[in-house]
Amino acid sequence: MAAQIIGRKQEQETLATCCKSDKAELIAIYGRRRVGKTYLVKTFFKEKFDFYVTGIYKGSKKEQLAFFNKQLCDYAKVPYPLADNWFDAFDQLKHYLSGCKKDRIVVFIDELPWLDTPRSRFVKAFELFWNSWASDQPRIKLVVCGSATTWMISHLLGSKGGLHNRVTRRIKLSPFTLAETEAFLQSQHIVWNRYQIAEAYMILGGTPYYLQLLKKGYSLSQNIDFLFFSENAELRDEYGFLFRSLFSDSAIYRATVELLGRKAKGMTRAELLTALRLPAGGTFSEILENLCNCDFIRPYAAFGKKERDVLYQLTDLFTLFYLRFVRNRNGRDEHLWSNMIDSAERRAWSGYSFEQLCLHHLPQIKTRLGINGIQSDVCSWFVPAAEGHKGAQIDLLIDRRDQIINLCEMKFSTSEYEITKRYNDEMQARRELFRAQTRTKKALHLTMVTTYGIKENPYSGMIQSQVTLDDLFREKE
E strands, 63-216, where? 105-110, 140-146, 169-172
Calculate helix-pair angle for 86-98, 122-132, nearest 10 degrees.
30
- Which amino acid makes up residue 204? L
For 288, the domain range is 176-360
The torsion angles phi and psi of 86, rounded to 5 degrees, stand at -70, -25
Q: Are residues 146 and 211 in the same domain?
A: no
Count of CA atoms in the C-beta half-sphere (13 A) of 83: 23
One-letter amino acid identity for 11?
E
Residues 341, 395 share a domain:
no
pTM given for the model: 0.92
pLDDT for position 383: 87
Give 291's DSSP letter. Answer: H
How many folded domains does the chain comprise? Answer: 3
Q: Same structural domain for residues 168 and 186?
A: no
**Residues in the chain, how many?**
477
Both 45 and 109 in one domain: the answer is: yes
Report how far residue 77's alpha carbon sits from residue 82's, in angstroms, rounded to the nearest whole number. Answer: 15
Quick one: 76 and 207 in the same domain?
no
Q: What is the pLDDT of residue 306?
A: 65
Do 142 and 246 lie in one domain? The reply is no
Q: DSSP alpha helices (H): ranges in 157-217?
A: 178-187, 194-204, 208-212
- End-of-domain residue from the set 309, 344, 360: 360
Q: Distance of alpha carbon 385 from its chain centroid, rounded?
A: 35
401 and 266 in a single domain? The answer is no
SS3 59: coil
127 part of a folded domain = yes
95 Rama sector, left if φ>0, alpha if ψ -120 to 50, beta otherwise: alpha
Q: How many CB atoms lie within 10 A of CB 138?
A: 14
Residue 423 within any structural domain of the chain: yes
Q: Based on the fold, state whether residues 207 and 296 are members of the same structural domain.
A: yes
198 shares its domain with 343? yes
Mean pLDDT by 10 residues, the chain (477 residues): 83 96 96 92 96 96 98 97 97 97 96 95 96 96 91 85 87 94 96 97 96 95 95 91 86 95 90 92 86 90 75 95 88 86 92 95 96 91 82 91 96 95 95 94 97 96 96 87
At residue 307, the pLDDT reads 64
Domain boundary among 335, 360, 385: 360
User: Cα separations (Å) of 126 from 29, 56, 116, 146, 226?
Assistant: 16, 17, 10, 15, 43
DSSP 8-state secondary structure symbol assigned to residue 225: I
- Are residues 33 and 95 both part of a single domain? yes
Same domain for 366 and 431, yes or no, is yes
